[in-house]
Amino acid sequence: MLKIGITGQAGFVGTHLYNTIGLFTEEFIRVDFQKEMFEDVNKLNAFVGDCDVIVHLAAMNRHNDPQVIYDTNIGLVQKLVKALKSTGSKAHVLFSSSTQEERDNLYGKSKKVGRELMIDWAKTDGGKFTGMIIPNVFGPFGHPNYNSVVATFCHKLSHNEIPVIEVDGDMKLIYVGELVNVILAEIRNNEGNPEILVAHTSESKVSQLLLLLESYKKQYQDGGIIPSINNTFELNLFNTFRCYMDIANHFPVKFIEHTDPRGSFVEIIRLGVGGQVSFSTTVPGITRGNHYHTRKIERFAVIKGKALIQLRRIGTDEVLDFYLDGNEPAYVDMPIWYTHNIKNIGEDVLYTNFWINEFYDSNDPDTYFENV
């Protein structure tokens, strides 16, 4: 099995790559990286020496002083090259660069010069190197005002702030999950290529992007409606938006219950998309779930009985507990990359309605088991 280490493991792309590699336990072994290793030669050498593949993602994207960005990024590459030389490593090194390489800014220059330093190492020491020039990346858990304008817009809208468009330019984008697939393909290919132009998967003006996100805020966060989703880009953008919401305080959302002498009526979901609706009963004390999805949108609606729904973001320890009671019917939606379960905590049978945005496919279930 290939042993893979990721510098910048705790960063935006690094977190997604690390978690995704963890799904392929029969193919890859993850070598843990901590940013403090760059400050300790022995620890960095040990890390490098333990890896068959190193994905170098560690970098500074923003700072008030552009020279600090340049010096930091070049310094990280120089330390990595020194460790590769010191250990005689023959690891396949993959380097994350940017389409800003050709722009007149020190960040872009730092990525280009860093890639050239890695090319020199590969030529001099017989190493294997892949340099990836990557367009704008968006996805869940990016840092607002740092990783991308998508992260900034999602954070502001979901927290009832007003985003501002500084330049309404055209953006070439790739979803972080799609980028991870590109990186994994290059690892499996194992040939090395000093300059790979990673193709963007979508394109949008900044204003059009904001209009879509505003519609998700209005329909989904404010109205509980699953919006119309017309393509993969919109699905990825919607799932990204959902992960910036204050999940702990947003859920559970109580339904509007209409009662008359006949009984009651509750509208479970309004959909701009299709999918699959299921119904289940759960006997007292039983827990269902303990799995997560990387692309699916899912809603749990409790209509009778008492339930505890739990969520935990993969790679973190914080567990969110939501208590639902059929006397006040309510729902909780499952963000992607959150493992989740539902337990009957009452004395009677629990009745639950489940909706998910795509039919179940046993050949591509997008369901990964992990206890909350």
Residue 309 placed within a domain: yes
Query: Does 336 score more than 90 pLDDT?
Result: yes
How far is it between the farthest Cα atoms of the chain?
A: 84
CATH number, domain with residue 126? 3.40.50.720
- As to burial, measured by CB atoms within 10 angstroms (0-12 exposed, 13-18 middle, 19+ buried), residue 256 is exposed
Number of independent structural domains in the chain: 2
- Rounded CA-CA distance 220/226 in Å is 6
Q: Is the pLDDT assigned to residue 147 strictly greater than 90? A: no
Instruction: Please check whether residue 360 lies inside any domain of the structure.
Output: yes
Structure tokens at 70: 């340049």
Per-residue pLDDT, averaged over 31-41, amounts to 97
SS3 of residue 108 by DSSP: helix
- Rounded CA gap, 225 and 278, in Å? 18
Last residue of a domain, one of 82, 115, 134: 134
Evaluate whether residue 256 is within a structural domain: yes
pLDDT band for 102, please (50, 70, 90 cuts): confident
Q: Look up the domain containing 130 and give its range.
A: 2-134
Q: How many CB atoms lie within 10 A of CB 276?
A: 12
Residue 265 three-state SS? strand
Evaluate if residue 27 carries a pLDDT over 90: yes
Burial 33-72 (b: 16+ CB within 10 A, else e): beeebbeeeeebbebbebbbbbbbbbbbeeeeeeeebbee
Task: Please determine, for residue 263, whether its predicted confidence score (pLDDT) is greater than 90.
Answer: no
Q: What CATH number did the domain enclosing 312 receive?
A: 2.60.120.10
What pLDDT digit, counting tens, does each position of 180-221 carry? 999 999 999 999 999 999 999 999 999 999 999 999 999 999
Backbone φ and ψ of 212, nearest 5°: -60, -45
Q: What is the mean pLDDT of residues 121-129?
A: 95
Q: Which of 115, 134, 153 is the last residue of a domain?
A: 134
Of the pLDDT bands very low, low, confident and very high (cuts 50, 70, 90), residue 315 is very high
Whether residue 185 lies inside any domain: the answer is: no
- Report the mean per-residue pLDDT for the chain: 96
Does 352 map to a domain?
Answer: yes
Predicted confidence band of residue 262 (pLDDT cuts 50, 70, 90): confident
Q: Would 291 be classed as within a structural domain?
A: yes
Domain end, chosen from 134, 155, 182, is at 134
Write the DSSP string, 59-106: -----SSHHHHHHHHHHHHHHHHHHHHHHT---EEEEEEEGGGGSSSH
Contact 58, 74 (CB under 8 A): no
Question: Which of the residue ranges 94-103, 131-140, 148-157, 299-308 would you say has the lowest mean pLDDT?
Answer: 94-103
Is residue 306 situated within a structural domain?
yes
Contact 296, 177 (CB under 8 A): no
All residues at 6 or more sequence positions from 86 whose CB lies less than 8 Å from its CB, including other chains: 41, 45
Using the structure block, give the residue that is written with the tokens 């519609």: 215
321 located within any domain: yes
In tens, the pLDDT along 65-92 reads 999 999 999 999 999 999 999 999 999 9
Placement of tokens 């042993």 in the chain: 3
How many angstroms separate the CA atoms of 359 and 275, rounded?
Answer: 6
Q: What's the confidence (pLDDT) of residue 103?
A: 85
Residue 14 pLDDT class (50, 70, 90 cuts):
very high
Residue whose pair of structure tokens reads 């070049």 in the numeric block: 74
Using the predicted structure, report yes or no on whether residue 104 has a pLDDT greater than 90.
Answer: no
> What was the pLDDT predicted at 264?
84
Tell me, what's the pLDDT at 106? Answer: 94
pLDDT of residue 93: 98
